[in-house]
Amino acid sequence: MTSAQERKIKQTGCDARFDNLTRQLYATDASIYQIEPVGVAFPKSKEQTSLVIRAAADAGLSVTPRGAGTSLVGNAIGEGLIVDFSRYNRQITDLDLEKRSVRVGAGVVLDQLNDFLKPHGCGFGPDVATSSRATLGGMIANNSSGARCPIYGTTADHVISLEIVLADSRVEKISARHKSLDAERAAIEKVIRAASAEMAECWPPGLIKRWPGYGIERFLHAPNDLTNILAGSEGTLAAIFSAELKISPLPSEKGLALIFFASVGEAMQATVELLDLKPAAIEHIDRPLLDQTKGQLHFQAARDLLELDSKPCESILIVEFYDDVVERLSVLESRKLGLRKKILIEAAQMNLVWSVRKSGLSLLTGCVGPAKPVAFIEDAAVRPAQLPEYVRGLQSIMKPLRLEASYYGHAASGLLHVRPVLDLHSAADLKKFRQVADETSALVRQFKGSLSAEHGVGIARTEYMRDQLGDELLGVLREIKRTFDPKNVFNPGKIFADGQHKIDSHLRENFTRPLKLPFQPVLAFAFKDRSFIGNLEQCNGCGGCLKHTGIMCPTFMATGEEVMSTRGRANIIRGALELRVNGHDPLKSEELDAALSNCLSCKGCTPECPSNVNLALLKAEMLYARWRRHGLPLR
């Protein structure tokens, strides 16, 4: 990046940073990928957003909009300018209880919105597992859904209007009632209508979750509403600055049934048999996930409630009901399903169960050793009735490769988060990684399902879009991209394969060039990992430390700065160790000073991070190594 380009962006008045510390912090998200940007902008207003996007485009830089950076497929990282909406854009306004609507900034966190709405007896329907840090802008861009999709649908079902910023700096409001972008809307409607027969053939009805790419099937039924196109666009068309959303009344009562099984297959078949009771959610958790809660104080109460130590099982269905709870739980109890059942109606007990489910990804990736359950085929979806056969198909892919995998997630929606256990440091396992991805793509196509039904296309699925959609539908998406973003400014290379993004490209550097320490560790890291690097690599970027309740991380709660979070500090330690070239001494790194100097060593991260990253020990080890080599500083 030239000094002239940097100066032009800073002249917009937007907080924009181009230092190495910031670039390293934003080079990763919650995925397995790493791309270092040229800088990061933190706009405070739509005017600043407009100016900084225009300046970046004029400078020939790409723009990647970003919320909490919790993407599992790499759609929140890019080599140009990252525009972070989570730092300042967190206003909640225009609550209208009569119309059941509210306006939010793109950086508003889902839990923040629900805490605001709860005293009014309302909430936002879609409930992602990352609700403590997921931003509404990111949820709209991904068309997220979550556990209760059977009754609330996806985020797109709850969007009334959007305020967006285009690559040419225009700020537009789009909705069914706004006449803005009318020429673009008419052109998009024409190309979508011409492909309606192909859409019907490629995407038969019955799928509850989203299809990959732009919401063209939704737009076909509501051609006046461009919000359907933006929902699911993953930041490739425009930046979302704010949104007017529908809100829903909170359920008057809730009840939970737990059904314990001897196998995943039996649980999948039972899911199909329970759909007639119209549950709000049926979530599946399995033994690999449950085993990760052993020895964790944070989850001991949940383990006791589930009686996992005295009555072990392979699989559990969590079946939730809203309204007519007693009657429907009674019907469920009468059915001969599983090894045993447990009925819960107390909110505290239900919350314990949901805490285990919501921590699923981080619990799994927090397992001991370099082999981890990897998220790369984790949000493919089929119709719920196809789930048993689909799982058998997945197991037939895993078995010849001798891969263990966890199967958990949204059973009622036909979507399981399937995570094969792989060591991405290993060339042999990287081959298995590619093979599983290829064969799963073919399996999903066989079921006419969705390969990216919740987390987006991003880097991980872009190369499979032609096989999944065919040339005609992919051509429709390309035409929409050209209409909104003719110069390909926003998040280039995502959704449309241009050769730069493949499922096994841009992997985190610690996979392709294993970390080496410039010192001999002296601490034991006895809990779980037994090594400095093992504990450091427990951080998967899930962003659980970006919350504003509990203990972890007090410095982030006070400042909102990424470097003050456990994730940020772990990324900077990793970044310092990766820069061991040309005589670079990681122990002298200014970035390391910035990351560690304000860590309180309170150890709040160790119990609250589901992966148990122990930043206090990592900090102590790094500082001890520095002082042994360079002497104890006066302070």
598 pLDDT band, cuts 50/70/90, is very high
| Residue-averaged pLDDT of the chain | 94
Q: Does the pLDDT of residue 549 top 80, yes or no?
A: yes
584 vs 465: which has the higher pLDDT: 465
Lowest mean pLDDT among 2-6, 285-289, 365-369, 536-540: 365-369
Q: Does the pLDDT of residue 529 top 90, yes or no?
A: no
Buried/exposed code over 47-77 (b: 16+ C-beta within 10 A; e: otherwise): ebbbbbbbbbbebebbbbbbbbbbbbbbbbb
Q: Does the pLDDT of residue 580 top 80, yes or no?
A: no
610 pLDDT band, cuts 50/70/90, is confident
> What residue type is 307 in one-letter code?
E
528 vs 242: which has the higher pLDDT: 242
pLDDT digits (tens, 9 = 90+) for 295-323: 888 889 999 999 999 999 999 999 999 98
- The residue whose two tokens read 């992966």 is 611
pLDDT digits (tens, 9 = 90+) for 553-579: 999 999 999 999 999 999 999 999 987
Taking residues 397-411, what's their average pLDDT? 95
User: In a 10 Å sphere around its CB, with 0-12 CB exposed, 13-18 middle and 19+ buried, how is residue 88 labelled?
Assistant: middle
What's the CA gap between 168 and 406, in Å, rounded?
45
Q: Classify 598 as helix, strand or coil.
A: coil
Q: Classify 94 as helix, strand or coil.
A: strand
What's the CA gap between 276 and 46, in Å, rounded?
47
User: How far, CA to CA in Å, does 6 sit from each of 39, 41, 154, 168, 525?
Assistant: 9, 11, 39, 19, 42
Residue 294 pLDDT: 87
530 vs 78: which has the higher pLDDT: 78
CATH number of 515-630: 1.10.1060
Q: Which of 397, 390, 435, 445 is nearest to 413 (CA)?
A: 390
Taking residues 257-263, what's their average pLDDT? 97
Asked if the peptide bond before residue 553 counts as cis, ω within 30 degrees of 0, the response is yes
What's the CA gap between 256 and 224, in Å, rounded?
40
What's the CA gap between 569 and 618, in Å, rounded?
10
Question: Which tokens sit at 223?
Answer: 């051609």
Q: What are phi and psi of 27, to 5 degrees?
A: -80, -15
Helical H segments across 464-531, by residue range: 465-484, 509-512
CATH class of the region 92-249: alpha beta
Q: Does the pLDDT of residue 404 top 70, yes or no?
A: yes
Helical H segments across 319-399, by residue range: 325-334, 347-358, 360-365, 387-398
444 pLDDT band, cuts 50/70/90, is very high
Give the domain ranges of the chain.
92-249, 254-446, 515-630
499 pLDDT band, cuts 50/70/90, is confident
Residue 333 pLDDT: 95
Taking residues 182-205, what's their average pLDDT? 96
Q: Does the pLDDT of residue 257 top 90, yes or no?
A: yes
Give percent above pLDDT 70 in the chain: 99
363 pLDDT band, cuts 50/70/90, is confident
Taking residues 469-482, what's their average pLDDT? 97
Residue 84 pLDDT: 98
CATH number of 254-446: 3.40.462.10
Taking residues 389-413, what's their average pLDDT? 95
pTM attached to this predicted model: 0.95
137 pLDDT band, cuts 50/70/90, is very high
User: How far, CA to CA in Å, does 29 sit from each of 78, 128, 282, 424, 522?
Assistant: 10, 17, 28, 17, 30
Taking residues 203-229, what's their average pLDDT? 95
- The residue whose two tokens read 């990424």 is 562
364 pLDDT band, cuts 50/70/90, is confident
Residue 582 pLDDT: 64
Alpha carbon 403 to its chain's center: 24
496 vs 583: which has the higher pLDDT: 496
CA angle 407, 393, 337 (to 5 degrees): 55
